[in-house]
Structure 1
Amino acid sequence: MTVKSALIGCVVLAGWLMAGQVFAACTPPAVAGEEMSACKDWPAYPGLTISASTRFEPGTAKALAAHDLDLSVLQDGQPSPIASFHQRAAFVMDGARLQELTLDTARYKLTPELRAFGVRARLTNGSRLNPMEEVQLSLYVKEGEKLRPALRKLVVYEYGGEWDDNCAGERFEISRTVDMAKTTSHGFADLIVKTQETGTTNVVEGDACEDKTTVHTPVLTTLHYDGKTYVLPPGFKGL
């Protein structure tokens, strides 16, 4: 067994009381509402593995339930992370719950020398009459021994609506894709976000339930880096 296999094959959680002190947590995601974890090789940097894990903190009289987030980058042959990140209450459970956590290693080339990786979080509310689902994308870059968020909680998928549990109701679906632009802001590539929205209305007509679907024209939005993070327009940031 290689050193990397040994790391991925077990969960080594140490130093929860110290920000950023998290080792590999490459086990299948737990059920919603509890700890989750994911890991993935980073194709852009052979020999490196990305690990993500959450820790669930139950709500109290003064605070909502939340998930802390820990990220780390591991290198073959080294037992400790070479870079890490910790965020307390990264996902606050305000009417929704964290359902899934995945890693995204698409070609997010922010500068000629720097590539980011993504963390996608799916949140849902579990309601039949007023359903809500949201997928957020955050991008992180490695700077020395630290990982830093360059993009926070861009909503790349959203679904919602309401209905009367019989027929009448409305629902919408929004999906977004992210591409690298040729232009830059503060040395980082601008991001071109394509938004596609679909709306559906259901009404009772006689004995039938009829639906009308409207597919809106795709909209392109350019996100600019302000020196610290990519600035999101109103409505683009997740919960």
Structure 2
Amino acid sequence: MTVKSAWIGCVAICTWLLAGQAFADCSPAPVAHDMDFSICKDWPAYPGLTLSASTNFSPDPVYGASGIVGLYDLHLSLLATSGSKSLATFDQASAFSVDAIALEELKFDTARYKLKPDLQAFGVRVRFKNSSRLNPLDETWLSLYVKDGNALRPVMDRLVVHEYGGEWDGNCAGERYETSRTVELAKASTNGYADLIIKTISSSTVGNGEGEACVSNTVTQKPVLTTLRYDGKNYAVPRDFKGQ
């Protein structure tokens, strides 16, 4: 290797390292409330672009004295990584309501949601959870967004991709259920957008007895496939698949 080629190789490696450092240095915007969330993530599908999201909590004026009952506003941004220039945004007031069920997590899903040859969506996952051991509830919702001019447009809203709940005595007796869903792109398309195949797997557990006499039985249903088609504006999520 010549000195020149070695120098060029060093420049390439250093550039890659600096790019990695820039990604590592992605800093979420500061939050004003302990219950607020703020995240950011580099978008692998489009190098040089960064996704940013925040939820801002407002306590309910009547029932929010404890500070845990209220509404969340959602703000999304697509930014140029260099200089953090905003390229597209989405704002939704009162996007989520919380009371006994708290907003536990906010995260980006940058799987390969290529809806058209020249258009890829990104996902936002929100997780809600209560603190009850005897009446547990744990849900994760997935929404998909695309860039449409200077706006981020939702094309799939609040698909429940995981749900766990039930009622039991904490030892054996009672019932619990769990549902998981995955999203795959179909080869077929409708109105120019790829159809989405939703795979649902559900299970239920029933327990009876106490102590060593406890008998627990879990039944897992066969996977069910459901196709969502783009109607020209969005993918209509069935009511029993959708977070409320």
TM-score, normalised with respect to structure 2: 0.83
Aligned partner of 2:70 among 40, 62, 65: 65
- List 4+ stretches of structure 1 deviating above 6 A: none
CA 1:120/1:6 → structure 2, altered by over 3 Å: closer, same or farther?
closer
- Which residue of the partner structure matches residue 196 of structure 2? 191
2:130 equivalent to 1:125: yes
1:9-42 Cα distance to aligned partner (Å, 9 max, x none): 36268xx9xxxxxxxxxxxxx96xx011111111
Which structure has the larger Rg?
A: 2
The aligned amino acid for 1:116 is: A
1:91 positional shift: 1.1
2:56 equivalent to 1:55: yes
- Which residue of the partner structure matches residue 25 of structure 1? none
The aligned amino acid for 2:206 is: T
Is the 2:205–2:217 Cα contact (8 Å) retained in structure 1? yes
CA 1:207/1:106 → structure 2, altered by over 3 Å: closer, same or farther?
closer
- CA distance in structure 2 between the partners assigned to 1:135 and 1:10 by the alignment: 22
- Which residue of the partner structure matches residue 27 of structure 1? none
Is the 2:106–2:127 Cα contact (8 Å) retained in structure 1? yes
- Which residue of the partner structure matches residue 8 of structure 1? 26
- CA distance in structure 1 between the partners assigned to 2:60 and 2:148 by the alignment: 33
Structure 1 stretches of 5 or more lacking a match? 17-29
| RMSD (CA atoms) | 2.5
CA 1:11/1:207 → structure 2, altered by over 3 Å: closer, same or farther?
closer
1:126 positional shift: 1.4
- Between structures 1 and 2, the one with greater helix share: 2
CA 1:132/1:147 → structure 2, altered by over 3 Å: closer, same or farther?
same
- CA distance in structure 2 between the partners assigned to 1:40 and 1:86 by the alignment: 18
1:181 positional shift: 0.7
CA 1:129/1:4 → structure 2, altered by over 3 Å: closer, same or farther?
same
Aligned partner of 1:156 among 158, 161, 164: 161
2:89 equivalent to 1:88: no
1:50 positional shift: 0.4
Partner SS for 2:116: coil
CA 1:212/1:49 → structure 2, altered by over 3 Å: closer, same or farther?
same
CA 1:193/1:141 → structure 2, altered by over 3 Å: closer, same or farther?
same
Q: Percent identity?
A: 52
1:144 positional shift: 1.2
Q: Say which is worse superposed, 164-173 or 57-66, in terms of deviation.
A: 57-66
- CA distance in structure 2 between the partners assigned to 1:128 and 1:69 by the alignment: 29
Is the 1:177–1:193 Cα contact (8 Å) retained in structure 2? yes
- CA distance in structure 2 between the partners assigned to 1:183 and 1:170 by the alignment: 39
Partner SS for 2:152: strand
| Number of corresponding residues | 222
- CA distance in structure 2 between the partners assigned to 1:188 and 1:228 by the alignment: 10
- CA distance in structure 2 between the partners assigned to 1:198 and 1:6 by the alignment: 39
- Which residue of the partner structure matches residue 140 of structure 2? 135
1:33-59 Cα distance to aligned partner (Å, 9 max, x none): x01111111111110010111101111
Aligned partner of 1:238 among 210, 220, 243: 243
- Which residue of the partner structure matches residue 19 of structure 1? none
- CA distance in structure 1 between the partners assigned to 2:239 and 2:30 by the alignment: 39
1:209 positional shift: 1.2
TM-score, normalised with respect to structure 1: 0.85
- Which residue of the partner structure matches residue 24 of structure 1? none
